[in-house]
Every structure is written in structure tokens, then in C-alpha cells.
Amino acid sequence: GAVVSQHPSRVICKSGTSVKIECRSLDFQATTMFWYRQFPKQSLMLMATSNEGSKATYEQGVEKDKFLINHASLTLSTLTVTSAHPEDSSFYICSAGDSVGASEQYFGPGTRLTVT
């Protein structure tokens, strides 16, 4: 099956700094990528949808200036958490499909962010 990677798998940063998370599709072209946030033992919450070459579409309640998403190529999307605060600590997961309506999305392994 198709493989999606995320880097880093874990990151610790200080409050007020920014951190970038990468999501890569390794063996297919990902026209669309999705970013999720997950708290322990809770469900995945969709943050935004990014399409290659266009601006991301954010879900209601997600601060677009705080969570910057860039999808500059068909294999790479990045999520930058700006001016991070302890409440931003969470597990971030990306998924990718080869089209908006792709029958299957492929999930990355996730990134655990801890803000101290």
C-alpha cells in the first residue's frame, strides 16, 4: 500500500517558539492532504485540508495564523505551529490521497508535540 511519512516523530519545543512538521507521500502523488489533531484516548479532529498549489481550507475554530499549512509539492505538506503554547501539545497526524475524492486516505505515523 501507499506510504506516508511524518517528520519528526516526536518534538519538544519551548513556549513561544515555532515548530514545523513535515508530511510526505513516498510512493504516490498526494493531491490532497489532511491534518488532524488527537488528544490521548480521543478521536481525530480534522484541522485543515490542503490541496497542492492552493491555500489550505481550515475547519471552523482552527486558527489559521497559528497553524500554518503549506502544500508546495505533490509529495510534501508542512504544518507549522507558530508561537507554540503548552495547550498546543498534542498528537498531530496527516493523511494523504491522490485526489480529493480518493477512495482511500493513507495515514502518516503521527508526530507527538510537547510544548514546555
Partner 1 sequence: AQTVTQSQPEMSVQEAETVTLSCTYDTSESDYYLFWYKQPPSRQMILVIRQEAYKQQNATENRFSVNFQKAAKSFSLKISDSQLGDAAMYFCAYRSANAGGTSYGKLTFGQGTILTVHP
Q: Residue 25, interface with partner 1 (CB under 8 A)?
A: no
Q: Check residue 44 for interaction with partner 1 (CB under 8 A).
A: yes
Q: Does 29 bind partner 1 (CB under 8 A)?
A: no
Looking up cell 495547550, which residue turns up? 87
* DSSP secondary structure letter of residue 108: -
CB of 100 to partner 1, least distance (A): 4
CB-wise, 46 or 72, nearer to partner 1? 46
Residue with Cβ nearer partner 1 (14 or 43): 43
Q: Is 61 in the site for partner 1 (CB under 8 A)?
A: no
State yes or no: residue 95 binds partner 1 (CB under 8 A): yes
Question: Which residue type does 87 have?
Answer: E
Report which secondary-structure segment, H or E, holds 38: strand 32-38
Cell triple for residue 106? 493513507
Rounded CA separation 15/18 (Å): 8
